Every structure is written in structure tokens, then in C-alpha cells.
Structure 1
């Protein structure tokens, strides 16, 4: 639903308008009966760290127990790449 509201009324009813935006309504704030701004709900998204930890946990599941990441087979006895 589209809701048009003047600035003064929007200031008085801000909490209610935020609830409307959260449920998907389009809130348009007007000044002198002209649209000047919109009130938009921002859905919570996973942060970069949460996404990384989720991917890391998924990756651990597919690695057999006792596996290491030393990669000794890529280096010679002196620690230099083969």
C-alpha cells in the first residue's frame, strides 16, 4: 500500500510509519504536497563475519577428521616450493 504523509504528520507518527514500512508499505513523505522523501525498511542482513563463519563451518563438515593443511607435499626438505 502506498502512504503519502506530510512532514509534520510523519514526525508525529514516525513509529507507526516505521511499522508500516516493515510490513512492506511504501511511505512517501511530502512537503507542500510534493513527494520529497521515502521511508524504507532495511532488512537485517548477515554481516561479513557471520557469513564467513557460516561458510567456514560448512567447509569443516566436508573435511575428513585428522586432515591437516600443512601442504608438505608442495615443498622440498628445505622448505622451498618444488
Structure 2
């Protein structure tokens, strides 16, 4: 959502406007009713591999010590699902 605000009000409410921008709103700063500038959040870009490694690390915390990924308990002696 776009939020229009005059310069004087923006000066008084700067912290609030930054929080709104971080939540996804576009803040339009106006001078005498004419748009002059905008506040938009700076996106933090992470590499895809960093996200994958973070998820993998987080998932490992829940795995009991000595657990394996072996699923012999769901297959019969012929390798077919039980």
C-alpha cells in the first residue's frame, strides 16, 4: 500500500514510516502535495545455497543421535513396500 505524507510529518514520524516500509508499504514523501521521494525497504539478498545450508543445519537439530536414513522397516525382503 502507498502511504502519502508531507515532509514535515515525515520528519516527525521517521521511525514509524521506516517500520511501515519494512512491512512492505511504499512511503511517498510529498512537498506541497507533490510526490518528491519514496521510502522502500532494501531487500537482503541471500544466496540460494546459504538458505539450503541453513535449513539443513536447522533440520539436523531434531535428528536423534545415531539415527540413519535407512528405511528397511517399510520394505520387505524383496525391496517392495510393506
Q: TM-score, with normalisation over the residues of structure 2?
A: 0.54
Aligned to 2:28: 28
Alignment of 1:47-66 (within 5 A): none
Deviations 1:1-57 (A, max 9, x none): 2100000100110110011001111100000110010011102224xxxx5xx6xxx
Please tell me the root mean square deviation across aligned C-alpha atoms, in Å: 1.8
Mark the runs of 5 or more structure 1 residues left unpaired by the alignment: 55-82
Aligned to 2:37: 37
Aligned residues between the structures = 50
Q: Distance in 1 between matches of 2:3 and 2:23?
A: 13
Q: Distance in 2 between matches of 1:44 and 1:12?
A: 27
Aligned to 1:59: none
Aligned to 2:17: 17
